Structure formats: C-alpha cells, structure tokens
Structure 1
Amino acid sequence: MLTQTSQAVQRGAPGRAAMPSPGNTAAFRAALWTNMEKLMDQIYAACVQVQHLQKVLVKKRDPVSHVCFIDEITKDGHLDILFTFWNSVTQILSSQFEKATNSSMFLKQAFEGEYPKLLRLYNDLWKRLQQYSQNLQGTFSNSGNSDFIPELQQTEDDTQDMFITKKDVDPEKTLKDSLQSYEAAYLSKSLSRLFDPINLVFPPGGRNPPSADELDSIIKTIGSEMNVAAVDSDLCWAVSKNIAKTIQLYGVKSEQLLSTQGDASQVIGPLTEGQRRNVAVVNSLHRLHQSVLKVISGQGSLPVAAEQTISSALKIIFSLMGNAVQPLLNSVSDSVEAIIITMHQEDFSGNVSNSGKPDVPCSLYMKELQGFIARVMTDYFRHFECLDFVYDNTEAIAQRAIELFIRNASLLRPLGEGGKMRLAADFAQMELAVAPLCRRVADLGKSYRLLRSFRPLLFQTSEHIANSTSVGDIIPYSVILQFLFTRAPPDLKSPYQRAEWSIARFSQWLDDHPSEKDRVVLIKGALEAYVQSVKARDGKEFAPVYPIMVQLLQKAMSSIQ
C-alpha cells in the first residue's frame, strides 16, 4: 500500500512505485516499520487459527463413522494443512517482498540497510508461534476443555510442536530464507563499512600506523556492527566473519609499514627511524588486539562460533607482532651469546690470592653483559606499550643466556681455585644481568633452577658431583661430564678439543643436537679416545677423574635408553 500511487499511470498498466518526498522520508520509514509489525501480527493470527484448526481436526472424530476428520480431509491429496499453509506464507513473503523492492529503490534500501530490524521482526514472530504452540499443548491437556472437545481425553496426544517436528524441513529456516537477498546485501554493506575507515587511515604511500583516535573510530565501527547483529546468532556469526576479515586487513596494511632493512635489527646505536616505525606498528597492533578483545567481552552472550572466528583473526595479529620484533630479538640474542663466549678470553686458571681477601671481582665479560642487557631494554624495548608481550619474548632470551652461560662455564679449561671463586661470583652476577629481561628471575623455571644448582658444584669433589641429586634431574648429564673434563689432565681432551673445534663451533654443534643422547655419545667417544691414547703410550693408570666420569657416563646412557 505504501509503494503504490493512488492514481493509475495508464489504463492497463501496473501501479508505479512511489518514492517518499525528500522532506517526508522519516515519516515514510516509520510508517513502513509500523506496517511491517502489523503484517507480522496478521501472520501470527492466521497461523494460530490454522494450527488450532489442525489440532482440532486431528483429535475430532465423526460421531457415527468414528473416522478422524483430518483423515477425511487428507485422504485424497495427502494435504498437511499447517505445513502447507506455512510454506504458502513464506513463499508469499519471498515473492511479494521481491516484487515490492524491485519496484521501489526506497524499500530496497530500507530492507537491506535495516536488515537486522527486519530479521528481528521475523525472529519475534517465530518465538511467538513457538510459545503459542507450547501453550496450546497445555490448554488441550487441561480438563476444562473436555466439554468443548470430549474426544481429547480419549485420544493419545500425538500433536507435538508441528512447527518443529513436521517433515524433514526446518520451518524456521524456511521463514528466514525469504530474507536471503537482503542478508547478502546487508553483509556486503557491513563489510564496506568496516573496511572504509581502515582504507582511510592507511593511505597509499603512508608510512605511519593509525593514531589513537583513528583506531578508536575503527573499533567503534566494529562494536556497532556487532551490536546491531546481536539480534540473531546466525547474523552475528556472519558479521563476525566480516570483522575477522577487517582485522586481517588491518594486519596486512600494518605489515606493509614494517621496516625490514638492516637498521631495523641493529643493537649498537640508538633507535633508528625504521625501528621507531616498527615499534609504532607493534603498539598499534597491540591496541587493536586489546580493543577487539574488550568489544568481545562486552557483548555478553556472543555465539561460540562468532567468538572463535574473531579470536582466530586476533591470533594472526599476535603472530604478526611476534614477526615484527623477531629480527631485533635475534640480534639481542646473538649479541648476548657473543659476549658470553668471550669468557674464554679471560684467565680462570689462577689460585686464590694471598692477600687474605678473596680476589673475586666481577669478570669483564659479565660487566659487559650486564651493561648491554640494561641498555637494550632501555633503548629499544621500553618503547613498546605491550609489556607482557615484550617479557614473553625477552624471557626466552634470558633463558637462552643462562643456558649459554652454564654451557661455557662448564667448558673452561684450566680452572684454578681462584678461577672457581670468580666464576662463582659470576653466577650471582648472572642473575642480576638477566633480571631486566624478565618479570622475576625466579619465573624462568628450569633455567633458574639450573643456574642455582650448578654454582655449589664448583667447589665440590668429583665424587660428590657424580652423586649429586641435581645431576640428571636439573643439570643434564652431558653438562656435568663436560665440567669434569676441566678437572682432568691435558691428555684427557674435551670433545671439542678432540674434534679440533673452536668453542663457538662446538656451541653451534650443541645447538644443532639438542638430544641428550647425541651429546652423551660424543662425550663417550672422547673418553674412548683417551683410553686408546693411554694404551698407546703404555700408561700405567688413568686420571683419577676418569673412573668417576665413566660411572656417570653409564648412568647417563641408562637414563636415555
């Protein structure tokens, strides 16, 4: 009625679609939705009548022939009154709405642009029909109706909710399918609304990530789309897929801003321009990640599928943040390793000083390590707003640093009593060195326990070391065996000495062979070579530490079988 002119355009011609005048659009749209509500009321009333009729016909029998009325009606055409009526209603809705919207651009825009409102009317209609069906069951089972339909008490109630159980077709889906074209158009426009602010803040040739205000605009758009879609779980899931695409687009645009040149990973001088931009990009991604999480939590009962869809997209953002900082992390880790390995350039062979005071100054490499770590945390990582993200990555560097420190400390040869004292002081200083990289040093877990457990072994006898409860549990057998080589005479060569490798090459081999079995087998080869050398020179006895190492080697071999 709203879209037809009051006068015929031509004799025999169809009515012409009317557009509201520019000043009357709001009133026209209000009238449209008022009429839509009335339409849903009429459909509800008609369905109630037909459902009531079918339930009565199913129960009522001819008093003479006792034939059920519904059987009499359906015996020729197998007509299911309620289901046929419902299909007719949905077909009429689909065809008439299509006809109306094809005739009127205004109607088309109203139904596509305000599709959630249209869907809410449909959902409300369906809920009312379900509620009526349930109430009707209760009414028919009430003895107060027996005067109206006496047969109801004599017939088994086999009329469950027919809108749910009848046939293999989902009646609710049939109802919503009449809106498919509007849903597709709405989702397309929704995606455009989500993409537009992102394309706006990432102009071609731009070099900076969006500002806080620009990001807020994007988040408000995401929140608005989710709020509007909350009227229906299926629509909410469909819109969540659009939001996931939006998050991915933001990630792609941000990734294009990242600097991948050499200066992006330098750790020698102050922050470069490329590094500043990378920090800004990571901070921007972090703010997006946190803001979207906040929007999700504020939605209340968000469908599981929708939440999982958005969460999967956020994982991509988190992964991109990791990729952005990884070159810098690698440079820091490589520098830490380069500093630690310089401990072999210092002399640890000396004895305790005769001055009466323990000569245990902090080693030069340890001072350099502490200064370097403190500087990189101040110069580079303090600019990141995502502290938890930073610590999650730098704690891995701290664990690696402790592992390398223990590895190289166990390889020092020769190691005198004075060297042990200085190395013990370095163990204490190591905790201070890695402290800036983590929330708490004690949170480093296995690495921290390894550092604490190894230090007391420096001053214990070889027999005590071999029988220590921490060996094999906290401290790997291979590390202790390497350490015992430092107490052996020069002819009992360490594995790297036997292979004529540098310390750096041996350390790389250990990285390439994380398996304890591979490491123990290498040490076993060094001990066997020592036995052969003693036999070759007709030696009378082995070094005192050799039988202890063999005993420990046997324990190691049995534990890795």
Structure 2
Amino acid sequence: MASPAIQRLSTFKPPTHPTTPSTTPPPPSSASSSSSITVSSPTPSPLDTFSSDPIFSLFLSPDFDSTRFSSSALSSGSAASTAEKLQHGVRLLEHQLRSEVLSRHPLLLSQLSSLQHAELALSTVRSAVSSLQSSLRRVRSEIADPHRQIKIKTVQLSNLHHTTELLQHTIRALRLSKKLRDLMAIFDAEPDKLDLAKAAQLHCEILSLCNENELAGIDVISEELVWVSETGNRLRTEAMKVLERGLEGFNQAEVGTGLQVFYNLGELRTTVDGLISKYKSQGVKSVSVALDMKAISASSGGGFGPGGIRGSGTPQIGGGQKAKQALWQRIGNCMDQLHSIVVAVWHLQRVLSKKRDPFTHVLLLDEVLQEGDPILTDRVWEALVKSFASQMKSAFTASSFVKEIFTVGYPKLYSMIENLLERISHDTDVKGVLPAISSEGKDQMVATIEIFQTAFLALCLSRLSDLVNSVFQMSARGSVPSKEHISRIILRIQEEIEAVQLDGRLTLLVLREIGKVLLLLAERAEYQISAGPEARQIAGPATPVQLKNFTLCQHLQEIHTRISSMINGLPTIASDVLSPSLGVIYGVACDSVTSLFQAMLDRLESCILQIHEQNFGALGMDAAMDNNASPYMEELQKSILLFRSEFLSRLLPSSTNAIPTGTETICTRLARSMASRVLVFFIRHASLVRPLSESGKLRMARDMAELELAVGQNLFPVEQLGAPYRALRAFRPVIFLETSQLGASPLLQDLPPSVILHHLYSRGPDELQSPLQRNKLTPLQYSLWLDSQGEDQIWRGIKATLDDYAAKVRARGDKEFSPVYPLMLRLGSSLTENAPVSRKP
C-alpha cells in the first residue's frame, strides 16, 4: 500500500496561473535524475535496471530506431508480452519522476519567490530610465540655439579668413607682376641686360600662385594674367634663341641659361623632348635629301630632259658623271649635318648633366630623364641609324645607279662613314663625360652599308675570278699563260689592295676575297700541270711537258713572291689571312717540279750506290797513282751536268730576272736540298765501304773532290750547304787518320756518329761484322733503314754487332780485342750522348 505522501504527490496539480519562462526552473537532466534516484532510494536506479535488460537497453543506444524495434517485436511472436513490459517500464519511470518532484518541492517554491523580487526591480528601472530621457530632452532644447549661433559665426570666420588669404595672394601676385613688368621694361630698353632666368622664375611663381589659390576669377588678376601669358611667350622665344645659339656655337653658358629659363618655367622636359624631336627630324630629312635622285639630277643641271633621271633612278645618257659627283657631294653634306646634329645633342646632354638649379640644387638631367630612359644621344643616334639604314636599303633596291656608285665606290662610302664617326668621337672626347656614340653605336652605323659591302666584295671577287678564268682557261689545258697575263693578275690584286689599304678592317675583307681567288688560281694551275712519266724523265733534253711545268712553276713563284712582298708592310693579321692561300700556291708550284727533282735525286743516289761495286781494297802503286775518277763518279758527274744544262738552267732565276736578296725560290730550295742530300748520301755509303786500303783511301778522296766540284758548280754552292759540306770536308782527312788518332780528333764534331762508327768497321777484323753484313741487307735496304732511324737506334744496331764480336772472341778464349772495338764502344757511347736523339740524313 502506498504511503499518504505518495498519494498526495499523485493528486498534485500544477497551478493554473501563467509563469514566465525566465522564472521556471530547468528540468533536471536524465543524469541528475538518475543520481537523485540513486541517492534518495536504496532501490536500484531504473536506468541501471534498463541497461541490463535486453529490451530496455535498446532504448539507451544512441542509434535507436523505433521502426526497427517495432518490426523486431512483431516478428518475434511475443508482441503482447513486450508491450506489457514496456507499460511496466513507463509506470516505473513515472513513479521515479514523482519521487524527484516531491523531494525537491522546497527548492521549487524558493525559485518562485525569486521571480517575484525580479519583477519589482525591473519596474523600478523602468521608472529611472523614463526620468533620464526627460532630462535629456530638456538639455537638448537648452543647447540647440547656442550651437546654431556658433555654426553661423564659424562660417563667417572661415569666409573672412579665405577672403583675407585671397587678398594676400592677390597682392603678392600683383607685386610679382610689378617686378616682372620692371624686368621686361629693362628688356624693352636694353635687350642684352634682361635676366631671362629671373623673369622666368617670376612668371612661373605668378602662374603657380594664381593656379594654386584660384585667383583667375578676380578681375584685376584676370587682366594681369593676359599680360603675363604674353610675357611668357616672349620669354620662351628669347630663351629658345639663346639655347639654339648656344648649341650651334657650343657655348655652355648660353645653353645653361636657356635650360635654366625653361626649368624655371616648368617646361624643361617638354622643351628638351621638342629639341630632340627637331634634331631627329633634321637628321632624317638630311639623309632623305642626300639620296633624292631627282634633286641630285636637278642640282647637277640635268633636269628631266637629256641627262636627267629616268624612272628607274638611272641618269639619262650624258648625265651620269654629274649625277655621280652630285651624289657624293650630297652624301658629304649629309655627313656634315649628321655630325653637327649629334655633337649639338651631345653638348645639350653634357650641359644637362652638369647644370644644377641654384636654389633646389636639382640636376637638370634628372628632370629630363626618368629611370630606364635612354640618354639623349642614344635616342637621336638610333633614329639617324634607322633612317640611314632604310634609305641605303631603298637605294640599293630601287636605284641601279646609286647601287653601282656605292658598290664600286664602297671604300669611299665607308671612309666617309668612318670619318663621320672619328669626327664625332674626337669632338665629344671630354674627360668625365660620356662620348656621343658608343662602340655599339658605331657598329650599327657601319652595319647600315653592309649591303653595299657585300656587293663590293662580290664585285672584287668577280673581277679577279674573271681575270683568272680568262688566263687559265679550262678548255685549253695545253696552253700556258704568258708572263704578261701573270703580271696583269698581280697588278689587279695590287690595285684591289691599294684601294682599301687605308682601312684595316676593309683590307682584311678584301684579302679574304683575294685568298679565294688565289685558291682558284692554284686550282686552275694545278689542272694545267702534267704529272706523267714524261714530266719526270731526266735522260734527255727537257720535253715540252716539262717546259710547261717549268713555266707554271715560275709563274706561281712570281705570284707568291710578289703578293708576299705586298703584304709585308701590312699588319701581321693580314699575312695570317693570306698565308693559307699563298701556301697552296707555293705547294702547287712545288708539285710542278718536285717529281723532276726527286727523279734526279733517285738517279744520283743510284749512282752513289755503285760505290759498293768498286774495289777500294786493292793494293799497289797503280791504284794509288790513278788520277781518274771512279766510274760511278763519272756517271754521277754526267748526270749532274745534264740536269744543270737541261733543267736547272731553265728553272733557276737568271741575272736579268733576279730574285730579291734574302728570298729563296722553289727551285733554289729544291737544288739546295738535293745537293745536301747527295753529300750526305755519299758520306754515308763511303763510310760503309769495306775493305778500304790506303790506295782506296786516295781514290775515295779524289771522288770526294770530284763530287764537291760537280755539286758546287752545277747544283748549289757547297760553301752555303752548312753541315753536309762540313761533314764532307771532315770525312776526307778522317779516313787517313790512324785509328789511335781518331778518338781525339776535332774532325769528329762535324760528322754524324753513325758515319764514324760505320767507317771504323773498315779498320776492324772480318769477324767484326757491320749491321749491313750481320742482317744480310743490300746497301739500298740498309740505307733506307738508316733514313728512318735516329742516331740512338743506329747505335743499338752497331752495339749488337760489337756484342757478337766480343762473344766470338771470348768463345775462342782470346783475351785481346781489335783496337777498333774499345774505340767504337767509347766513341759510340760518348758521341750518341752528345748527338741529337734523331739526326736523319
């Protein structure tokens, strides 16, 4: 049975009078209710019971779905029992809620009492706010009228202040105008005494004062501004006259005065821009006028009648020379005008870069140029170069007459451009000041006439190539150019060089074209040269083929010598340009006769090789008293004499056609080389002769004398051969020295080590074999091997034979060696140490 308190709680009804939301206590949360139930009742909390119940625990899940729960309950077949259990749970919760309300009944009553007190306080605040608003309305009505009076007085004071300022500015403007009038009165009386800068400063101050303070509406100021404006125009006119006069006469003081006037007027930048535009226009116009063919014809008296200009820009018959002179004269005048313009702009720029305003100390150039702007001279020069390039290109394509004049006369045109650039550089070369034109600017102007440079070089190449083609015709291979033809080619080349030699750059360009022509000439000459067996025969008189080769060699030699002498006075770089082409010319000239000289040298060497067929080991007085030369030497003499009479006499320069002193011809060089080779080859094989008796030595000495005489008289002066001649002169006495004297003889210094060592084999025993014998080689084979080896390799071969000899002696049990053995060891070691590593004959 329930207690009476629970029964009263169940019959408790909430009061019917409304309550404000602010005074209603918030309902306890489920957590607090659970806590209250747990504390006030010893029985377990319904929530704890629900959490352990399989059905009620589902309701505590945050993702509880009533539809899914109902569907599950219905499908389980026990829907009635589940509904009854849920009703029991609801009753349990209601019972718990009643317990909570009953336990907190005093607290709820106290909350109701607090709401009543708050309502009383709020009514008091409403009364105070209403009283405050009433006071504010009374204060507003009391201060509104004084505020309105203050505002009116403030406006009146502001107007008075503004009026006072206008009066002050007006009076100041009138005073400044009075000063300006006084200055202009002085100018009217004595124009030279006018201070333009001061007048401009006053003019600028008046206008600035009127504009800044809006004085233009005042009658007296408006009337004064009319006169001030007229005065400003007069000041600009006078200042421009001074400025232009200063620029024309390069007077820095006058230019500075004019610039200062325009700076004071506030028009410096626009004035300078106007001057630059004017100079640009003048330069462009001067270039255009210089290449106006109609004007050129009119000025030369041609008009449009006979001698005038045709539609294609070509003068009529009879007027070409006058038009040409007029064209060059106009170009000269154009160069003078461009010089004056550039120097004037540079002078303007120079003064701007030095002049500062005396009051603000501002550099005038900073007022004219902004950061990143090109300097004045660059602006003008760029316009001039662009105009000049355009006019030159137009003249090249539109006027065949101008194209021809400037192509043929390109050196003169280039010289005028160079002269212009040099004059500008000279006149603007001032320490501490930028020049008027940079090196890049000069290159730009030179590039404007490159189209004529290309045509000029092509014309130069064409002229020379046509001349070479006419002299060396491909269709007439058998014909040989005459000396006059060669002289014409050389003269034409000399004229081309002399036409441009005053300018180094142009000279190099022309030399490159000449180099191409020389290569063409070498190619044509090489085509004319014969290289068959007939060109190499030396058994009989010179054949027509050989005579043709001789003539071509002499012609090419003449071209090489003359052109080399032309460029001797030029800078080294000029020689470097032509050296490859001249080298080709020289090579072709050598090829025309080298095979002949080589054939002759082979013939002479074959004669010398016959020395090994002679018996130099014979004993007896008959051999010693025989004064005749050896058969091989007689054959060699005959061959040399025939070569001299039939070939060298035609190749070497005659007294009437002497080569300049210090210059060696191709044939002279080949003859000298042949003579040296003959002497060296003879000494080599003479040293290989074995055995060599005393009578054989006499015979060999006679052969040496005959050889020296034949070579000196018919090939080349032996005294001028140097080392080969000294070796020949040394070898003759060496063969007569005793073996014991050889080691200390000074003659050994003039002989190659291999020659001495080979000669010593002739003094040794037979079992001391030479490399020739040891390797079973022919004299020719061994000689070819010697040509390909240096002295150190030759010594190794000789040393091997010495080692073989020593082994044989030791094998016999002998203790003594031939006297030449230790001498050869000592001489070989010492001489090869002091001799060059690779000395070839």
Question: TM-score band, normalised by the shorter chain?
Answer: 0.7 to 0.9
Question: Which residue matches 1:254?
Answer: 525
Q: 1:163 aligns to what SS in structure 2?
A: coil
TM-score (norm 1): 0.87
Aligned letter for 2:696? G
Correspondences of 1:469-548 after superposition (within 5 Å): 469-471=746-748, 473-513=749-789, 515-538=790-813, 541-548=816-823
The correspondence for 1:450, drawn from 727, 731, 750, is 727
Q: 2:463 aligns to what SS in structure 1?
A: helix
Q: 1:180 to 1:547 in 2, by over 3 A?
A: closer
Q: Displacement of 1:481 after TM fit? A: 1.9
Aligned letter for 2:441? P
> Would the aligned equivalents of 1:397 and 1:437 in 2 still touch at CA under 8 Å?
no
Question: Which residue matches 2:464?
Answer: 194
Q: Distance in 2 between matches of 1:123 and 1:540?
A: 91
Show CA shifts across 1:320-379 (max 9, x none). Answer: 222222111111111111111112222212234179x84443222222212211210211
Q: Distance in 2 between matches of 1:438 and 1:483?
A: 27
Q: 1:294 to 1:545 in 2, by over 3 A?
A: closer
Question: Which residue matches 2:437?
Answer: 163
> Would the aligned equivalents of 1:58 and 1:69 in 2 still touch at CA under 8 Å?
yes
Question: Which residue matches 2:643?
Answer: 376
Question: Which residue matches 1:145?
Answer: none
Are 1:182 and 2:472 counterparts?
Answer: no
Q: Distance in 1 between matches of 2:605 and 2:822?
A: 33
Question: Which residue matches 1:11?
Answer: none
Q: 1:256 aligns to what SS in structure 2?
A: helix
Are 1:114 and 2:384 counterparts?
Answer: no
Q: Displacement of 1:105 after TM fit? A: 2.4
Q: Displacement of 1:110 after TM fit? A: 2.2
Show CA shifts across 1:221-249 (max 9, x none). Answer: 21222222234322111111011111111
The correspondence for 1:57, drawn from 352, 356, 361, is 352
Q: 1:546 to 1:237 in 2, by over 3 A?
A: closer
Gap runs ≥5 in structure 2: 1-288, 299-309, 654-658
Question: Which residue matches 1:154?
Answer: none
Q: 1:223 to 1:552 in 2, by over 3 A?
A: closer
Q: 1:360 to 1:539 in 2, by over 3 A?
A: farther
The correspondence for 1:344, drawn from 609, 612, 616, is 612
Correspondences of 1:115-264 after superposition (within 5 Å): 115-134=410-429, 137=430, 158-164=432-438, 170-206=440-476, 207-264=478-535
Question: Which residue matches 1:307?
Answer: 575
Q: 1:120 to 1:551 in 2, by over 3 A?
A: closer
Question: Which residue matches 1:409?
Answer: 686
Q: 1:127 to 1:530 in 2, by over 3 A?
A: same
> Would the aligned equivalents of 1:266 and 1:331 in 2 still touch at CA under 8 Å?
yes
Q: Displacement of 1:537 after TM fit? A: 4.7
Q: Distance in 2 between matches of 1:381 and 1:46?
A: 69
Q: Distance in 2 between matches of 1:265 and 1:450?
A: 30
> Would the aligned equivalents of 1:341 and 1:408 in 2 still touch at CA under 8 Å?
yes
> Would the aligned equivalents of 1:340 and 1:366 in 2 still touch at CA under 8 Å?
yes
Show CA shifts across 1:287-321 (max 9, x none). Answer: 21233234435xx5x34423331233222212222
> Would the aligned equivalents of 1:209 and 1:284 in 2 still touch at CA under 8 Å?
no
Aligned letter for 2:550? V
> Would the aligned equivalents of 1:190 and 1:225 in 2 still touch at CA under 8 Å?
yes
Are 1:25 and 2:320 counterparts?
Answer: yes
Percent identity between the aligned chains? 31
Question: Which residue matches 1:362?
Answer: 629
Higher helix share: 2
Aligned letter for 2:629? C
Q: 2:621 aligns to what SS in structure 1?
A: coil
> Would the aligned equivalents of 2:424 and 2:436 in 1 still touch at CA under 8 Å?
no
Q: Displacement of 1:160 after TM fit? A: 4.2
Q: Distance in 1 between matches of 2:313 and 2:702?
A: 90
The correspondence for 1:3, drawn from 286, 290, 293, is 293
Q: Displacement of 1:536 after TM fit? A: 4.3
Which runs of structure 1 show a deviation greater than 6 angstroms over 4 or more consecutive aligned residues?
Answer: none
Q: Distance in 1 between matches of 2:389 and 2:448?
A: 5
Q: 1:17 to 1:66 in 2, by over 3 A?
A: farther
Question: Which residue matches 1:281?
Answer: 552
Show CA shifts across 1:99-131 (max 9, x none). Answer: 344332222222223222211221221122122
Q: 1:26 to 1:454 in 2, by over 3 A?
A: same
TM-score (norm 2): 0.59
Q: Distance in 1 between matches of 2:452 and 2:575?
A: 24
Show CA shifts across 1:484-538 (max 9, x none). Answer: 211223222222112222222222221222x111111111211222233334455
Q: Distance in 2 between matches of 1:341 and 1:66?
A: 100
Q: Distance in 1 between matches of 2:690 and 2:498?
A: 69
Q: 1:360 to 1:550 in 2, by over 3 A?
A: farther
Larger relative contact order, structure 1 or 2 (CA cutoff 8 Å, min sep 6):
1
Question: Which residue matches 1:150?
Answer: none
Superposed CA RMSD: 2.5
Q: Distance in 1 between matches of 2:643 and 2:371?
A: 88
Q: 1:481 to 1:96 in 2, by over 3 A?
A: closer
> Would the aligned equivalents of 1:44 and 1:128 in 2 still touch at CA under 8 Å?
yes
Task: Give the count of matched residue pairs.
Answer: 523
Aligned letter for 2:468? I
Aligned letter for 1:435? G
Q: 1:72 to 1:429 in 2, by over 3 A?
A: same
Q: 1:393 to 1:105 in 2, by over 3 A?
A: same
Q: 1:403 to 1:181 in 2, by over 3 A?
A: same
After the TM superposition, which of the residue ranges 195-204 and 481-490 deviates more from structure 2? 481-490
> Would the aligned equivalents of 2:525 and 2:588 in 1 still touch at CA under 8 Å?
no
Question: Which residue matches 2:49?
Answer: none
Q: Distance in 2 between matches of 1:329 and 1:480?
A: 29
> Would the aligned equivalents of 1:339 and 1:369 in 2 still touch at CA under 8 Å?
yes
After the TM superposition, which of the residue ranges 80-89 and 319-328 deviates more from structure 2? 319-328
Aligned letter for 1:413? R
Q: Distance in 1 between matches of 2:823 and 2:566?
A: 63
Gap runs ≥5 in structure 1: 8-14, 138-156
After the TM superposition, which of the residue ranges 526-535 and 482-491 deviates more from structure 2? 526-535
Q: Distance in 2 between matches of 1:77 and 1:456?
A: 90
After the TM superposition, which of the residue ranges 221-230 and 27-36 deviates more from structure 2? 221-230
Q: Distance in 2 between matches of 1:175 and 1:46?
A: 15
Q: Displacement of 1:477 after TM fit? A: 2.7
